[in-house]
Amino acid sequence: GDLGIVAVGFSGGQPKAGVDAGPAALIDSGLLSEISNELGYRIHGDQQVNLYKELVPESDPDYRGMKNPRTVSAVNKRLAAQVYEHASQGRLVLTLGGDHSVAIGTLAGSAKAIRERLNRDIAVIWVDAHSDINTPESSDSGNIHGMPLAFATGLARDDNDEYFGWIKEDMRMSVKKLVYIGLRDVDAGEKKILRDNGIKAFSMFDVDRHGIGRVVEMALAHIGTDTPIHLSFDVDALDPMWAPSTGTPVRGGLTLREGDYICESVHQTGQLVAIDLVEVNPSLAATEAGALETVRAGCSLVRCALGDTLL
Ligand code: ARG
Ligand code: MN
Ligand code: MN
């Protein structure tokens, strides 16, 4: 198949340096050559990491409580165009982050392209410890990596192009087509948003109760079998035992096998149109080994989503 790659070295959605080096670490460990040589994809697009330095404005004061709002908006507007371009050509789009704010752009780009090309709404499987659906007003931190789904679904909006006003209706996704797996650190304001909008979520409690096999089955049943899927995987969904090198680790997470299983199952649907792998921050682990483990885990998830099989 054809794969469009977008490597986004971006950290402006949260305060910790180093997550901008995530894509380079994944690529340096051989991920792209495995994808082309072992999994047989034709890779399209710039295999260099985009840092988008030229898009960073001279001043970027807080707006509606958001930190770095103009920077995050401008980078995501560009990213949306890149993802749109790949997806319009029928390529499976792989975005390597970067913090999770980059999903504002990836979701906008794939929603619009899939709507135009297939006349379908995308479904989103969001695998994360966090629900990342704060509005600027509900957020305690002001970090935009905790808000991507609010902008993607239209729960948060702004008229000004410099503050995500470029996200138009044809770039949005439905809250009905969103499903979470792995949640265990959801803010009080987010719990209300999930409840009020009837959003489907499988927390770690559900994974423990039903097992990952049944949870994935129920998640896929919720979005429907014949629906294009955008998989957005935050590496912090995994337990810090497998992915310690990330900005907001939360104990009690998925095992690496459970994460891989989600990716393998989503691949098997044959409906995958885009994958984000985000929040790998090689500079945060207590040990060098911890950083390497996190990168290895990220590569494993991506390979599984692209159809690498055990047998
Ligand atoms: N809910 C918290 C916030 O809004 C944490 C978000 C963490 N998000 C992430 N993509 N790691 O700031
Ligand atoms: Mn997270
Ligand atoms: Mn996230």
> Vertex 189, ends 150 and 266: CA angle to 5°?
50
The candidate with the shortest Cα–Cα distance to 250, out of 238, 262, 261, is 238
Residues 132 and 100: beta-carbon distance below 8 Å? yes
The candidate with the shortest Cα–Cα distance to 301, out of 222, 246, 223, is 246
How far apart, in Å, are the Cα atoms of 286 and each of 17, 45, 180, 277?
Answer: 15, 34, 29, 22
Q: What pLDDT is stored for residue 176 in this prediction?
A: 98
Q: What pLDDT is stored for residue 287 in this prediction?
A: 93
pLDDT tens string 149-175: 999 999 999 999 999 999 999 999 999
Mean pLDDT across 107-134: 98
* Whether pLDDT at 46 is above 90: no
pLDDT tens string 52-104: 999 999 999 999 999 999 999 999 999 999 999 999 999 999 999 999 999 99
Catalytic annotation present for 100: yes
Q: Is 307 left (phi over 0), alpha (psi -120 to 50) or beta?
A: left
Indicate which atom in ligand 1 lies nearest the CA of residue 246: 11
Q: What's the chain's average pLDDT? A: 98
The candidate with the shortest Cα–Cα distance to 113, out of 230, 288, 226, is 230
Residue nearest to atom 7 of ligand 1 (CA): 146
Q: What pLDDT is stored for residue 129 in this prediction?
A: 99
* Whether pLDDT at 225 is above 90: no
3-state secondary structure 192-238: HHHHHCCCEEEEHHHHHHHCHHHHHHHHHHHHCCCCCEEEEEEHHHE
pLDDT tens string 256-283: 999 999 999 999 999 999 999 999 999 9
* Whether pLDDT at 136 is above 90: yes
CA of 297 to the centre of ligand 1 (A): 20
Mean pLDDT across 189-202: 98
Question: 274 pairs with which residues across the strands?
Answer: 93, 230
Tokens read off for 11 = 């950290």
pLDDT band at 300 (very low <50, low <70, confident <90, very high): very high
CA of 73 to the centre of ligand 3 (A): 17
Task: Tell me the pTM.
Answer: 0.98
* Residue-by-residue DSSP string for 114-175: HHHHHS---EEEEE-SS-----TTT-SS--GGG-HHHHHHTSS--S-GGGTTT--GGG---G
Q: What pLDDT is stored for residue 290 in this prediction?
A: 96
3-state secondary structure 47-111: CCCECCHHHCCCCCCCECCECCHHHHHHHHHHHHHHHHHHHHCCCEEEEECCCHHHHHHHHHHHH
* Whether pLDDT at 185 is above 90: yes
Candidates 141, 192, 281: which one to mutate for ligand 1, based on the most atoms within 8 Å of Cβ? 141
Question: 96 pairs with which residues across the strands?
Answer: 7, 277
Catalytic annotation present for 20: no
